């Protein structure tokens, strides 16, 4: 237990299991539980999208209404539902605003981002701070995530600077993905209501647009990414998406903390979605049963003697879907089976649907989001494929290690940090890595894994064993976040913080 528990507000656009599109939801739904175990008072706030089921999660409507000043739009009002993160006592609050969040998608519909995402997430950012008043909660630190709540650090340093509840709060901004920055027309300044003087090249302005993430990077007390590798990468033009300079200016305040895995959810010994539970000792037999189950679920021939490759992923360029599209006809010339679960860009849905029709005995895909199937792929596949162009952390490769399913990854960001390349001589390593961002490199590396499957059973067994021995715990990550919070609080409360930091 720390000497003094901290009060921490998480503000984000997703939290598993309530509303999730990707790993951001896993992190916001997972990390608070482990911070609470360290003795801290954590609260989480996200929107109440239609997909957040009030009955299922037993949500309770709090008395009162939040009043959220939206600049030129005027005050907006919203109700607040309260629930608990599963398996712990951490309160989570859901902002009920019909016009902004009363729709099926989180960010988009049919591949088109909602037209009012600017107002929706500025609203979320402001409402999260207003919520503290309603709850009589004084956070030591507000933990914001990605562009959706990225403007919070700026709000804390400007319009909320003298607020009774959040005026002294430090801020930590976690960068899960630099590609999406929340860039909108300059008129958004009138909704933000912080004054046009903040629309300058250091703070909110980028390419004549308001860039919410940039404002957050400039203003956050401290910053972190979700792996050490990605913290280095985003300071380069290749991975910074135009913000590498802004990030580089803050490199002394930027840290990397690898995400953890919720081993209560992702554990082959207790996983309720898979055909047979298994441990490192029983992995061979257990995986064989799970493989059969996966083959039959996906309508592939039931074969024990063929390497089965699996993908679970958003189908976008970030995840290397384009590389896979290019390589897949050649990959399927080998004696393999391939299972793909995902959704994303429409071209990929058509393309891979077509591949499934052309190679019914070898390739099967499920276009959509399916939690149970994701678990079945982790357990039933022989190898897990992640050819990402960039990967801030990536969770699936860590899940696949836990399931004895060696990952085949392009070595970038969190993939570089969490997977060790196979060494055939020493029988060390946990997966197969390649560096070049090309379909050929992907094909060659899959070829290496397939060769290992057929010709090097001792190598395969070692890879499985080594992977299953890895542990990426939230306990370890939570301790690192605790240190960052403490440092951020110390900085923010230190003498002359604003003069030292901003020259004011």
Residues forming contacts to ligand GLC in the complex (CB under 6 A) are: 22-24, 27, 176-177, 226, 259, 391-395, 414
> Which stretches does DSSP call E strand in 149-303?
170-175, 183-184, 205-206, 209-211, 222-225, 254-256
Two tokens, residue 450: 């397939």
CA separation for the pair 459, 456 (Å, rounded): 5
Bridge partner list, 175: 225
Of 211, 260, 181, 312, the C-alpha closest to 472 is 260
Given the rule CB under 6 A, which of 158-166, 331-339, 364-372, 486-494 is the region that contacts ligand ADP?
364-372
Are residues 151 and 131 in contact, defined by beta-carbon separation less than 8 angstroms? no
- Report the nearest approach of ligand ADP to the CB of residue 12 (Å): 13
CB neighbours (10 Å) of residue 5? 15
- Report the nearest approach of ligand ADP to the CB of residue 129 (Å): 26
Given the rule CB under 6 A, which of 72-80, 154-162, 273-281, 336-344 is the region that contacts ligand ADP?
336-344
Out of 241, 369, 448, 497, name the contact with ligand ADP by CB under 6 A: 369
CA separation for the pair 7, 140 (Å, rounded): 5
Choose the one of ligand GLC, ligand ADP, none that binds residue 7, judging by a C-beta under 5 to 8 angstroms depending on kind. none
Given the rule CB under 6 A, which of 31-39, 96-104, 369-377, 438-446 is the region that contacts ligand ADP?
369-377
Given the rule CB under 6 A, which of 42-50, 332-340, 363-371, 474-482 is the region that contacts ligand ADP?
363-371
Judged by beta carbon, residue 160 or residue 366, the one nearer ligand ADP is 366
Judged by beta carbon, residue 28 or residue 170, the one nearer ligand ADP is 28
Order of strands, edge to edge, in the sheet holding 183-184?
A: 183-184, 209-211, 205-206
- Report the nearest approach of ligand ADP to the CB of residue 370 (Å): 5
CA separation for the pair 105, 125 (Å, rounded): 19
**Contact status: 310 vs ligand ADP (CB under 6 A):** no
Out of 244, 370, 420, 444, name the contact with ligand ADP by CB under 6 A: 370
Judged by beta carbon, residue 139 or residue 407, the one nearer ligand ADP is 407
- Report the nearest approach of ligand GLC to the CB of residue 318 (Å): 6
Given the rule CB under 6 A, which of 17-25, 237-245, 458-466, 484-492 is the region that contacts ligand ADP?
17-25
- Report the nearest approach of ligand ADP to the CB of residue 122 (Å): 23
**Contact status: 312 vs ligand ADP (CB under 6 A):** yes
Given the rule CB under 6 A, which of 7-15, 184-192, 308-316, 355-363 is the region that contacts ligand ADP?
308-316
DSSP state string for 91-127: EEEEEE-HHHH-SS-SSEETTEE-TTHHHHHHHHHHH
CA separation for the pair 421, 408 (Å, rounded): 9
Choose the one of ligand GLC, ligand ADP, none that binds residue 369, judging by a C-beta under 5 to 8 angstroms depending on kind. ligand ADP
- Report the nearest approach of ligand ADP to the CB of residue 250 (Å): 23
- Report the nearest approach of ligand GLC to the CB of residue 114 (Å): 19
Nearest residue (beta carbon) to ligand ADP? 23
Order of strands, edge to edge, in the sheet holding 432-434?
A: 363-367, 337-344, 308-315, 383-386, 407-410, 432-434
Number of residues written out for the chain: 504
- Report the nearest approach of ligand GLC to the CB of residue 261 (Å): 11
Place of tokens 């391939």: 338
> Which stretches does DSSP call E strand in 281-429?
308-315, 337-344, 363-367, 383-386, 407-410
- Report the nearest approach of ligand GLC to the CB of residue 413 (Å): 7
Given the rule CB under 6 A, which of 54-62, 98-106, 217-225, 338-346 is the region that contacts ligand ADP?
338-346
**Contact status: 371 vs ligand ADP (CB under 6 A):** yes
Binding footprint of ligand ADP, residue count (CB under 6 A): 18
> Does residue 17 have a cis bond before it (omega within 30 degrees)?
yes
Are residues 399 and 390 in contact, defined by beta-carbon separation less than 8 angstroms? no
- Report the nearest approach of ligand GLC to the CB of residue 287 (Å): 25
> Which stretches does DSSP call E strand in 411-491?
432-434
Per CB under 6 A, which of residues 383..422 are in contact with ligand ADP?
393-396
Two tokens, residue 184: 């909108």
Packing angle between helix 457-469 and helix 439-455, nearest 10 degrees? 110
**Contact status: 22 vs ligand ADP (CB under 6 A):** yes
Of 444, 412, 225, 474, the C-alpha closest to 331 is 444
Q: Which residues bind ligand ADP (CB under 6 A)?
A: 22-24, 26, 312-314, 341-343, 369-371, 374, 393-396
């Amino acid at each position: 237990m720390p000497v003094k528990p901290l009060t921490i507000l998480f503000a984000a656009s997703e939290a598993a299991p309530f509303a999730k599109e990707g790993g951001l939801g896993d992190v916001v739904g997972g990390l608070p539980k482990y911070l609470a175990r360290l003795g801290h008072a954590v609260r989480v706030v996200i929107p109440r999208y239609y997909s957040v089921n009030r009955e299922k999660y037993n949500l309770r409507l709090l008395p009162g209404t939040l009043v959220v000043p939206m600049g030129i739009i005027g005050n907006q009002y919203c109700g607040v539902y309260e629930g608990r993160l599963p398996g712990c006592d951490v309160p989570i609050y859901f902002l009920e605003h019909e016009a902004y969040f009363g729709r099926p998608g989180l960010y988009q519909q049919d591949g088109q981002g909602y037209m009012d995402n600017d107002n929706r997430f500025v609203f979320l950012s402001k409402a999260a701070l207003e919520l503290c008043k309603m709850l009589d909660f004084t956070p030591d630190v507000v933990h914001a995530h990605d562009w959706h709540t990225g403007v919070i650090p700026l709000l804390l340093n400007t319009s909320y600077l003298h607020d009774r509840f959040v005026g002294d709060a430090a801020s930590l901004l976690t960068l899960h993905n630099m590609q999406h920055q929340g860039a909108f027309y300059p008129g958004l300044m009138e909704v933000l209501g912080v004054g046009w003087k903040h629309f300058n090249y250091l703070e909110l302005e980028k390419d004549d647009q308001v860039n919410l993430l940039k404002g957050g990077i400039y203003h956050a007390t401290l910053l972190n990414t979700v792996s050490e590798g990605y913290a280095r990468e985003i300071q380069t033009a290749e991975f910074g998406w135009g913000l590498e300079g802004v990030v580089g200016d803050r490199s002394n305040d930027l840290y990397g903390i690898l995400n953890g895995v919720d081993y209560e959810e992702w554990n082959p010994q207790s996983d309720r979605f898979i055909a047979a539970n298994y441990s490192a000792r029983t992995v061979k037999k257990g995986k064989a049963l799970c493989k059969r189950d996966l083959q039959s679920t996906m309508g592939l021939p039931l074969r024990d003697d063929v390497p089965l490759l699996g993908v679970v992923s958003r189908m976008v360029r970030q995840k290397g879907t384009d590389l896979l599209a290019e390589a897949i006809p050649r990959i399927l010339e080998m004696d393999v089976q391939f299972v793909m679960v995902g959704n994303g860009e429409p071209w990929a849905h058509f393309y891979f649907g077509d591949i499934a029709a052309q190679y019914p005995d070898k390739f099967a895909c499920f276009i959509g989001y399916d939690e149970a199937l994701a678990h079945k792929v982790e357990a039933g596949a022989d190898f897990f494929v992640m050819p990402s162009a960039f990967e801030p952390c990536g969770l699936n490769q860590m899940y696949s290690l836990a399931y004895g399913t060696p990952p085949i990854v392009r070595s970038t960001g969190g993939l570089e940090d969490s997977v060790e390349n196979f060494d055939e001589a020493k029988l060390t390593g946990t997966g197969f890595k390649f560096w070049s961002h090309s379909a050929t490199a992907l094909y060659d590396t899959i070829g290496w894994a397939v060769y290992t499957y057929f010709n090097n059973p001792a190598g395969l067994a070692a890879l499985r064993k080594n992977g299953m021995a890895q542990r990426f715990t939230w306990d370890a990550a939570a301790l690192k976040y605790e240190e960052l919070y403490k440092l951020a609080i110390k900085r923010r409360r230190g003498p002359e913080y604003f003069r030292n930091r901003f020259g004011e």
